[in-house]
Amino acid sequence: MELTQTRRPSGRRLSRSGLTAVSLLALAATALTGCASGKATGSDAGDATASAGGTTSTAKTGKVSIVVIGGKSDDPFFSTVKRGVEDATKLVKAGGGTVTYLGPANYDNLGPDVAKLTQTAISQNPTAILVPDWVPENQDSAIKQAIAKGITVFIYNSGGVAAANKVGAVKYVGSDDYEAGKAGGVKFAEEGAKNILCVNTVPGSANQEARCKGIKDGATSKGSSSKQLPLPSSNFGNPSAVTQAIKGALLKDSSIDAVVTIGVGDADSAASAIKQANVGGKVKLGTFDLSQSQLDRIKAGTQLFAIDQQPYLQGFYVVSMANQYLSYGVLPPQNPILTGPLLVTKDNVGKAIAGAKAGVR
At 330 the pLDDT is: 95
Alpha helices in 130-288 (DSSP H): 136-148, 160-167, 177-190, 206-220, 239-252, 264-276
Span 134-151, pLDDT tens digits: 889 999 999 999 999 999
Global pTM reads 0.75
Q: Which pLDDT band, with edges at 50, 70 and 90, does 329 fall under?
A: very high
Least confident range from 36-40, 87-91, 173-177, 189-193: namely 36-40
Query: Predicted confidence band at 5 (pLDDT cuts at 50, 70, 90)?
Result: very low
Predicted pLDDT of residue 233: 66
Q: CA–CA separation, 139 vs 133, rounded Å?
A: 7
The per-residue pLDDT for 62 is: 57
CA dist 167 and 113 (Å) reads 18
Is pLDDT above 70 for 239? Answer: yes
Answer whether residue 292 shows pLDDT above 60. Answer: yes
pLDDT value at position 357? 85
Overall average pLDDT of the 15-21 stretch: 33
The stretch 108-132 carries a mean pLDDT of 95
230 vs 177: CA distance, rounded Å: 17
Q: For the segment 33-91, what is each residue's pLDDT rounded down to a tens digit?
A: 333 333 333 334 444 555 554 444 334 455 899 999 999 888 878 989 999 999 999 99
Mean pLDDT, the chain, as a whole number? 85
How big, in percent rounded to 5, are the helix, strand and coil portions of the chain?
45, 15, 40
pLDDT of 152 strictly over 90? yes
